[in-house]
Amino acid sequence: MDQALDSIVHGLIRAERSRRKTPTERAMLQATEGVNVGHSYYAIAIDQQAAQEYETRANKWLEIAKRAVSESGVAWTRDRAAEVAHILSTELLVDWEELVALLRAKNAARGNGRMAELDGAKDRTQAELPHQFELLVLAQDRGRIPIAEQLLAPRYEAVIHARRKARSFLDGPQPDYPNAAKEAVSAVEQLARIVTGKPAATLGDAIKELRAEGRVQAPLLKGLEELWGWTSDTPGVRHGASSVLIVDAAAARYIVAQGDACIGLLLSVDAA
């Protein structure tokens, strides 16, 4: 996650924790009003209060993280969910230690006292949070998830390999614009084969299949057709023909960008 966003989430959580310190102690005091410190219910009451506070904090920290991600305009990818989960795990460890210390201080007359309720709250939270993050990832608009992250599934191995080669040729220290364009088109063709279930199809064949099945609105196929048209009309793109492929920087960047747009469209079709 972006370091600045990471710092913001940590900072907001720590500020809210500071605000909750006095109310937490007050709530424990109210839970044991009129109960002798030596009575068994005294330890049970503050343990229950500590457990409630722990779960309240876990929910609040999750809401803080969700707000930070939402307001910063970034997407809930699996990598981002894992990073936020690590932040919450770190902060909840601080909460755990603080609440345990508070319990022991309140239970000084009874040794370490009981922590069954607090233990249970921690176990429930650890079991629940991964599912919360999974829901956030599943609910995310796929259009906002970076293409590179959408392509991490094993079924897209050939696609991501070609796309990475295109980016390497385009942005490397010694750019190779013709090969950047060729690999960008290859990435689109590889994905079109996966989407149509035809591993030997050309991009042109796949476009015909998508149009016949109605899986993509006809106007949206124009971007794919543009790539196919350029591929068909430019010597050396498809088969390494004897003609020298001439592609300048502007053309290569356009083809790579158009390829990414087509990949995004095909990924949405594949997900559907």
Question: Do 172 and 100 fall into the same domain?
Answer: no
pTM for the full predicted model: 0.57
Question: Do 134 and 217 fall into the same domain?
Answer: no
Question: Do 134 and 222 fall into the same domain?
Answer: no
Question: Do 122 and 160 fall into the same domain?
Answer: no
Last residue within a domain, chosen from 140, 171, 200? 140
Residue 184 sits in which domain range? 149-271
pLDDT of residue 185: 92
DSSP code for 38: T
Last residue within a domain, chosen from 74, 107, 140? 140
Largest CA distance in the chain: 95
Could you tell me the pLDDT band of residue 106, with boundaries at 50, 70 and 90? confident
Could you tell me the pLDDT band of residue 142, with boundaries at 50, 70 and 90? low
Query: What does the pLDDT look like over 25-58, one tens digit per residue?
Result: 888 888 777 666 566 677 788 888 999 999 999 9
Question: Do 7 and 127 fall into the same domain?
Answer: yes
Give the chain's domain count.
Answer: 2
Phi, psi for residue 183 in degrees, rounded to 5: -70, -35
Last residue within a domain, chosen from 111, 140, 169? 140
Question: Do 110 and 155 fall into the same domain?
Answer: no
pLDDT of residue 114: 64
Question: Do 32 and 114 fall into the same domain?
Answer: yes
Question: Do 97 and 188 fall into the same domain?
Answer: no
pLDDT of residue 25: 86
Question: Which neighbouring-strand residues pair with 112?
Answer: 110
Could you tell me the pLDDT band of residue 84, with boundaries at 50, 70 and 90? very high
CATH of the domain at 166: 1.20.120
Instruction: Render the burial of 123-139: b for 16+ CB within 10 Å, e for the rest.
Output: eebeeebeebbeebbee
Question: Do 95 and 214 fall into the same domain?
Answer: no
Across the chain, mean pLDDT equals 85
Question: Do 93 and 181 fall into the same domain?
Answer: no
Q: Which residue do the tokens 């500020």 mark? A: 15
Could you tell me the pLDDT band of residue 4, with boundaries at 50, 70 and 90? confident
Determine what percent of the chain is predicted with pLDDT higher than 90.
42
Cα angle 86, 91, 94 (rounded to 5 degrees) comes to 135
Query: What does the pLDDT look like over 168-224, one tens digit per residue?
Result: 999 989 999 889 999 999 999 999 999 999 888 889 899 999 888 888 888 888 888
Query: What does the pLDDT look like over 208-217, one tens digit per residue?
Result: 998 888 888 8
Torsion angle in degrees (nearest 10) through CA of 48, 28, 96, 121? 20
Spatial contact of 223 and 262, defined as CB atoms under 8 Å apart:
yes
Question: Do 46 and 73 fall into the same domain?
Answer: yes
